[in-house]
């Protein structure tokens, strides 16, 4: 998919502020500071479209970006910055909860996990929830540039070899270098294609 246009549409603080057209939506979830907004900027090759910050928890609304006039990328509020006994529900907030649970236009979710640290307890809960939700989802390992290639491979092996996430696919990504961008765009194109036919999606993207 080639990006020909990307624009910020709305920061929704409730579902009634979400766009009312029927364009498919792909949401980006993950703990605060994991790199959601940076990833969106890299995807659309616009440095400052999505607001990024080194202060965790900056994105507090559902930020909608319309891409190629055929889909929305939705930057979700980060969860789990506050340490301690927060359950996922409280940590991610009502807004995200409702959105993931009930948004009709939501086609797929990208869950971001820091390549260096691996999944937190809240990430694991999020995966359980995404499995239950039944929509396609993908795990993206962010900030891949912060690890050497051998260390990154080791991390991926760790993810793949044990525990409850071993059946899932992992895509390393770096907002700094663009690693993973093409693969992620391809996945997004597939999950947002009207009829699941890749041909049609490609045609529309031009
Ligand atoms: N080296 C490196 N730094 C990154 C990468 N992605 C994000 N960062 C940095 O990580 C910090 C957080 O990035 P954001 O994109 O704002 O993270 P976020 O997940 O949107 O955070 P919240 O909105 O608070 O939930 C910023 O300082 C980014 O520059 C990456 O791929 N590589
Ligand atoms: Mg953000």
| Distance between CA atoms of residues 67 and 162, nearest Å | 36
CATH number at residue 195: 3.40.50.300
Q: For residue 9, is pLDDT > 80?
A: yes
Residue at 61 is within a domain: yes
Atom of ligand 1 nearest to the CA of 175: 31
Residue at 1 is within a domain: no
Q: Are the CB atoms for 66 and 7 separated by under 8 Å?
A: yes
Residue at 98 is within a domain: yes
- Average pLDDT of every residue of the chain: 85
Q: What is the pTM of this model?
A: 0.89
CB of 34 within 6 A of ligand 1: the answer is: yes
**Residues 92-112: tens digit of each pLDDT:** 677 888 899 999 999 999 999
User: Which of the listed residues 30, 44, 49, 52 should we mutate to test ligand 1's pocket, taking the one with most ligand atoms within 8 A of CB?
Assistant: 52
**Residues 123-168: tens digit of each pLDDT:** 888 999 999 999 999 999 999 999 999 999 998 888 888 778 888 9
> How many residues does this entry show for the chain?
206
CB of 38 within 6 A of ligand 1: the answer is: yes
Which helix (H) or strand (E) segment holds residue 156: the answer is: helix 149-161
Burial (CB < 10 A; 0-12, 13-18, 19+), residue 80, is: buried
Which helix (H) or strand (E) segment holds residue 64: the answer is: strand 62-67
Structural domain of 65? 6-205
């Amino acid at each position: 998919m080639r990006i020909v246009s990307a624009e910020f549409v709305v920061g929704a603080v409730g579902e009634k502020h979400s766009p009312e057209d029927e364009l498919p939506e792909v949401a980006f979830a993950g703990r605060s500071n994991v790199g959601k907004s940076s990833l969106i900027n890299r995807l659309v090759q616009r440095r400052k479209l999505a607001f990024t910050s080194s202060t965790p928890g900056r994105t507090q609304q559902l930020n909608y970006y319309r891409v190629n006039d055929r889909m929305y990328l939705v930057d979700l509020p980060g969860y789990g910055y506050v340490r301690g006994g927060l359950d996922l529900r409280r940590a991610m907030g009502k807004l995200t909860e409702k959105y993931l649970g009930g948004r009709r236009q939501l086609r797929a979710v990208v869950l971001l996990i820091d390549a260096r640290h691996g999944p937190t307890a809240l990430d694991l809960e999020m995966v359980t929830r995404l499995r239950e939700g039944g929509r396609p989802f993908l795990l993206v390992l962010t900030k891949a540039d912060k690890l050497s290639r051998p260390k990154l491979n080791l991390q991926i092996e760790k993810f793949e070899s044990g525990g409850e996430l071993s059946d899932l696919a992992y895509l390393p990504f770096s907002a700094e270098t663009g690693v993973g961008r093409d693969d992620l765009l391809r996945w997004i194109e597939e999950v947002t294609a009207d009829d699941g036919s890749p041909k049609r999606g490609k045609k529309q993207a031009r």
